[in-house]
Amino acid sequence: MAEGYCVKCKAKQEMNNPQQVTLANGKPATKGQCPKCSTTMVRIGSSK
């Protein structure tokens, strides 16, 4: 699973349903949801 920072919880969390996306500027990112509060989380950069 991908790990990201949740702004609402103010802590690092494992993302639920991580998906590879491309941002408007062409950079890769991983998008998912926080398991505690269901806020959308985005981690910029390609996943490993």
**Complete DSSP assignment for 11-47:** EEEEPEEEEEEE-TTS-EEEEEE-TTT--EEEEES--
The number of domains in the chain is: 1
Joined together, the tokens standing for residue 34 give 């926080």
- Tell me which residue range forms the domain holding 22: 3-44
**Is this prediction's pTM over 0.75?**
yes
Per-residue model confidence (pLDDT) at position 46: 82
pLDDT means over runs of 10, the chain (48 residues) = 91 94 96 95 85
Q: What is the residue whose two structure tokens read 């806020």?
A: 39
Question: 20 and 41 in contact (C-beta within 8 Å)?
Answer: no
